[in-house]
């Protein structure tokens, strides 16, 4: 069975889900809840608190952050008869900045927030990118130290470990916008061309090599300088060996290397060195990033997660000048990689497992079974029963097995009055239990 939907063969209904969206039938929904549970558990364990915001915002909030060009990538609208433009949220960072700006005077510093909302982007659907998706965000606002950067990387690595990844399978690639900016200017990039160059380096893996070189050539660079920039955007460096960067790129500013050294020390203290390395091809082309940037890359896939420092965004939306750093991880690419690497089990493993399945072989209309099921549920147990019109105990036990019930309770006329048969569906053992003792017997067996 697919993790995404149930088979739809023969479906002739004229309405289908909109392109780039998903229907979450119970198996797919269970997998989604599992992914969300990992995000939530690890975030809380790392001291982050959960928040959320509206599904749509004023369109101006997004254009203030990303410019008017972003409008074509959004689902935007104006209410009939209204005069305000809105957009379904394509990301959470603008909402986060707005929320912080609105309450900055009353909030502690720093705040550590996470959320798991759904988002919408009006782009062509493809592998790993849909028009509606779910995304985990973790941010620290109000702390400009390398410790905050390291904490965001730490919670990300905690999520990766919880899903079963190893440092051999994924890497957190870390860069620094100031270091790359100074290096580019040292190599001859003019200040007015820096953002264009950032965006070009950010897309390097997505465009042919000759196109990358041609685009750099249009900025007036010599062949030697183009080669230097290609080398800059392709060489990884280990955490703790920052001095090699200065040796590799003559003229690298000392201040930038010191910033990386402080972050490297924080990462080593947290035991994160095996998961991380420096890679200056990671620049996060969006203009609002201001310092450290990072991406989680799995072999054969685009970025699994990405983020960085955005110290001016809160001020941009009307709040005080406030440092901030965060990361985001979408569910679509993550799920594909988990599946490809065998880190998701069988779909059924994620469906809720009933504590008990009640079966009636009595000749009544099912009244005793319904009463027993109601009593079990009121006691806090997950109890189910069949909706099939059969008294065939064998078939009903088969149904209990399909939903992976832990126990079956069988009402039968051959049993002693006031007793039921309790069957352990894992061991196959069966015994009679008085009805008044059934709840406690089940809870003891289930460890509840």
End-to-end CA distance of the chain: 31
Domain containing residue 90: CATH number = 3.30.930.10
Say yes or no to pLDDT of 242 above 90: no
Q: Are residues 25 and 159 in the same domain?
A: yes
Per-residue confidence band for 12, with pLDDT thresholds at 50, 70 and 90: low
Question: Helix, strand or coil for residue 40?
Answer: helix
The larger pLDDT score, comparing residue 246 to residue 72, is at 72
Rg (CA), the chain: 28
Cβ-based neighbours of 373, under 8 Å, separated by 6 or more: 358, 383, 384, 385
Q: Are residues 237 and 104 in the same domain?
A: no
Q: Are residues 407 and 259 in the same domain?
A: no
Q: Report if residue 380 sits inside a domain.
A: yes
Total number of domains in the chain? 3
Q: Report if residue 107 sits inside a domain.
A: yes
- What pLDDT is recorded for position 128? 84
Helices 59-66 and 93-103: angle between axes, nearest 10 degrees: 100
Report residue 446 CA to chain centroid gap. Answer: 32
Per-residue confidence band for 398, with pLDDT thresholds at 50, 70 and 90: very high
Q: Report if residue 332 sits inside a domain.
A: yes
Q: Which among 50, 49, 30, 134 is positioned nearest to 346, based on CA atoms? A: 30
Q: Are residues 141 and 120 in the same domain?
A: yes
Per-residue confidence band for 194, with pLDDT thresholds at 50, 70 and 90: confident
- What pLDDT is recorded for position 4? 46
- What pLDDT is recorded for position 2? 44
Instruction: Give the C-alpha separation, 353 to 356, whole Å.
Output: 9
Q: Are residues 164 and 203 in the same domain?
A: no
- What pLDDT is recorded for position 204? 77
Write out pLDDT tens, residues 116-126: 999 999 989 88
Question: Helix, strand or coil for residue 150?
Answer: helix
Say yes or no to pLDDT of 186 above 60: yes
Instruction: Give the C-alpha separation, 139 to 144, whole Å.
Output: 12
Instruction: Give the C-alpha separation, 439 to 448, whole Å.
Output: 10
Q: Are residues 87 and 212 in the same domain?
A: no
Say yes or no to pLDDT of 42 above 70: yes
Q: Report if residue 277 sits inside a domain.
A: no
Mean pLDDT over residues 261-268, rounded?
92
Q: Are residues 235 and 221 in the same domain?
A: yes
Instruction: Give the C-alpha separation, 126 to 133, whole Å.
Output: 12
Partnered with residue 413 across adjacent β-strands are: none
Say yes or no to pLDDT of 230 above 60: yes
What 8-state DSSP symbol labels residue 14?
S
Cα–Cα separations (whole angstroms), residue 306 to 56, 182, 295, 361: 23, 22, 4, 57
Q: Report if residue 247 sits inside a domain.
A: yes
- What pLDDT is recorded for position 272? 96
List Cβ<8 Å contacts ≥24 apart for 308-313.
308/177, 308/284, 309/149, 310/93, 311/144, 312/288, 313/65, 313/93, 313/94, 313/97, 313/288
Q: Which among 260, 206, 255, 266 is positioned nearest to 233, based on CA atoms? A: 206
Q: Are residues 217 and 362 in the same domain?
A: no
Per-residue confidence band for 408, with pLDDT thresholds at 50, 70 and 90: very high
Q: Are residues 104 and 221 in the same domain?
A: no
* Spatial contact of 35 and 331, defined as CB atoms under 8 Å apart: yes
Write out pLDDT tens, residues 320-348: 999 999 999 999 999 999 999 999 988 88
Final residue in a domain of this structure, among 309, 326, 348: 348
Range of lowest pLDDT (133-147, 249-263, 386-400): 249-263
By CB neighbour count within 10 A (0-12 exposed, 13-18 middle, 19+ buried), where does 176 fall? buried
Cα–Cα separations (whole angstroms), residue 128 to 167, 171, 300, 302, 396: 22, 18, 12, 8, 41
The larger pLDDT score, comparing residue 17 to residue 234, is at 17
Percent residues over pLDDT 70 in the chain = 93
Helices within 171-312 (DSSP H only): 177-186, 194-202, 209-217, 223-232, 243-248, 254-269
Per-residue confidence band for 9, with pLDDT thresholds at 50, 70 and 90: very low
- What pLDDT is recorded for position 429? 96
Write out the DSSP string of 361-386.
-SSS-SHHHHHHHHHHHHTT--EEE-
Say yes or no to pLDDT of 445 above 60: yes
Mean pLDDT over residues 92-113, rounded?
96
Strands 419-424 and 407-411: antiparallel
Q: Within 10 Å of residue 6's Cβ, how many Cβ atoms?
A: 12
Q: Report if residue 282 sits inside a domain.
A: no
Range of lowest pLDDT (246-255, 303-312, 326-335): 246-255
Final residue in a domain of this structure, among 230, 253, 272: 272
Write out pLDDT tens, residues 46-88: 999 999 999 999 999 999 887 888 898 999 999 999 999 999 9
pTM of the model: 0.88
Q: Are residues 49 and 133 in the same domain?
A: yes
Domain containing residue 419: CATH number = 3.40.50.800
Q: Report if residue 291 sits inside a domain.
A: no
Q: Are residues 76 and 129 in the same domain?
A: yes
Q: Report if residue 248 sits inside a domain.
A: yes
| Residue 111: domain span | 1-6+17-169+299-348
Q: Are residues 23 and 163 in the same domain?
A: yes
By CB neighbour count within 10 A (0-12 exposed, 13-18 middle, 19+ buried), where does 71 fall? middle
């Amino acid at each position: 069975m697919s993790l995404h939907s149930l088979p739809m063969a023969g479906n002739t209904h004229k309405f289908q889900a909109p392109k780039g969206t998903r229907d979450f039938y119970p198996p797919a929904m269970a997998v989604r809840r599992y992914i969300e549970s990992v995000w939530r558990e690890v975030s809380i364990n790392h001291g982050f608190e959960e928040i959320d915001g509206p599904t749509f915002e004023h369109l101006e909030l997004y254009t203030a952050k990303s410019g008017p060009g972003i409008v074509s990538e959004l689902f935007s609208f104006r209410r009939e008869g209204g005069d305000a433009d809105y957009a379904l949220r394509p990301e959470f960072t603008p909402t986060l900045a707005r929320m912080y700006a609105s309450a900055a005077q009353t909030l502690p510093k720093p705040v550590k927030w996470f959320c798991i909302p759904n988002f919408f982007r009006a782009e062509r659907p493809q592998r790993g990118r849909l028009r509606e998706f779910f995304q985990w965000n973790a941010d620290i606002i109000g702390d400009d130290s390398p410790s905050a950067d390291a904490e965001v990387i730490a919670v990300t690595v905690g999520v990766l470990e919880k899903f079963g990844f190893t440092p051999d399978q994924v890497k957190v690639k870390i860069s620094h916008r100031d270091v790359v900016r100074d290096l580019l200017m040292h190599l001859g990039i003019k200040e007015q061309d820096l953002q264009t160059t950032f965006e070009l380096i950010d897309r390097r893996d997505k465009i042919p090599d000759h196109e990358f070189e041609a685009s750099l050539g249009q900025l007036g660079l010599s062949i030697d300088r183009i080669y230097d920039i290609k080398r800059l955007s392709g060489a990884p460096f280990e955490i703790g060996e920052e001095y090699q960067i200065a040796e590799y790129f003559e003229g690298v500013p000392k201040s930038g290397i010191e910033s990386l050294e402080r972050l490297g020390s924080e990462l080593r203290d947290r035991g994160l060195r095996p998961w991380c390395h420096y890679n200056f091809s990671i620049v996060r082309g969006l203009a609002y990033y201001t310092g450290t940037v990072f991406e989680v890359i799995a072999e054969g896939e685009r970025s699994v997660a990405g983020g960085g420092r955005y110290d001016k965004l809160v001020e941009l939306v009307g709040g005080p000048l406030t440092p901030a750093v965060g990361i985001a991880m979408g569910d679509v690419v993550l799920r594909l990689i988990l599946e490809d690497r065998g880190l998701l089990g069988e779909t059924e493993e994620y469906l809720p497992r009933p504590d008990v399945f009640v079966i009636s072989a009595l000749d009544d209309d099912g009244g005793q079974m319904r009463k027993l099921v109601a009593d079990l549920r009121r006691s806090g147990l997950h109890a189910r029963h069949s909706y099939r019109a059969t008294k065939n105990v064998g078939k009903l036990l088969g149904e209990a097995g399909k939903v992976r019930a832990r126990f079956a309770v069988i009402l039968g006329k051959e049993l002693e009055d006031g007793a039921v048969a309790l069957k352990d569906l894992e061991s196959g053992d069966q015994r009679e239990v008085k009805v008044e003792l059934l709840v406690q017997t089940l809870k003891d067996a289930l460890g509840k």
